[in-house]
Amino acid sequence: MPAVQEKRKLPFGKIEPYSAKYFWSCALGGVIGDISGLMIDTGPTHTAITPLDLVKCRRQVDPNIYTSNVSAWRQIYAKEGLRGVFFGWSPTFVGYSFQGAGKYGFYEVFKYLYGERLFPNCNRTLVFLGASASAEFLADVALCPYEAVKVRMQTTLPPYAHTLCDGWRKVVAQEGISGLYKGLYPLWARQIPYTMTKFATFEETVNLIYKTLGKPKESYSGAVQTGISFLGGYLAGILCAIVSHPADVMVSKLNADRKAGESAMTAVSRIYGNIGFTGLWNGLAVRIVMLGTLTGFQWLIYDSFKVFLGLPTTGGH
């Protein structure tokens, strides 16, 4: 496959592996993947699944608000039209674009740093876990303010705000900048295990698929490789949904129901006392479908973009 790539004209010229241009390209691919995969649930991907996210968040905060997802969409569409079904798309789009760039770009940086420079003899799974945890830690700092605005918009009726700018101004005016970050610790608790599971499971699943097929990764076309990326991503997304769901519910609850002046731990304790262990699993079935689809398309789009640039797809090395 490398020989084929050398014969065609690459869109941005030859990109040297592990160069600054390589890492920036991966970050851009992360934006496109995260956004295109809600056009399907991160940037474009996250944006596309806003209707699922909207209902999921509202049912997490109030499990009795709708009898089913279909009933929820019917009610919302009847009252507010298509715009209501996609309510909250703007903070989703911007926030997950930033997160996608940080998550994928920094993952490539830390995977190279940990696996090639600092710990070249370390178990590869540990490298995947450490690199993804480090990347998500930084990416969530960029995502958190937009997630705070999104959850407030989607879980309050009537809506807390109707636009990203309106919501941002209200949060800062009422709570200061710290109000945009009051969900950061729960966000880390949700996203870091999720991303560690997502990346490590994806890498190991893709490696297993190529071993099962019995031929070197490079012997397959770009279309086959990106198809394997989709399959590996879908399976990883299912496991991610299960691992991270309790924290996801708590993030929604905290952003919607945390009292002024209440510490994070006090709020978590109070909310858990109200909903109990079973309440932490509200909306899981929807999230499994959402994240399986989302993660599969994210890896498909991300690796398709890498192939477009003449870079190797992720995993299977």
31, 122, 261, 269, 305 from 302: Cα distances, Å: 9, 26, 41, 39, 5
Quote the CA–CA distance of 50 and 154 in Å, as a whole number: 10
Task: Find the helix or strand (DSSP H, E) in which 232 lies.
Answer: helix 222-257
DSSP 291-309: HHHHHHHHHHHHHHHHHHH
Asked if omega into 158 is within 30° of 0 (cis), the reply is yes
**Residue 5: other Cβ atoms inside 10 A:** 15
Q: What is the pTM of this model?
A: 0.72
Q: What pLDDT is attached to residue 49?
A: 59
Give the pair of three-digit tokens for residue 266: 């006090």
- Domains defined for the chain, CATH in brackets: 15-181 (1.50.40.10), 197-316 (no CATH)
pLDDT along the chain (317 residues), means of 10: 48 75 85 57 51 73 74 77 73 86 92 94 95 96 93 81 91 92 88 89 93 91 93 90 85 75 84 88 84 85 89 83
Q: What pLDDT is attached to residue 294?
A: 80
Instruction: Give 31's Cβ-side CA count (13 Å radius).
Output: 11
DSSP 130-183: HHHHHHHHHHHHHHHHHHHHHHHHHHSSS-S-SSHHHHHHHHHHHH-GGGGGTT
Q: What pLDDT is attached to residue 243?
A: 83
Nearest alpha-carbon partner for 170 in 158, 182, 153: 153
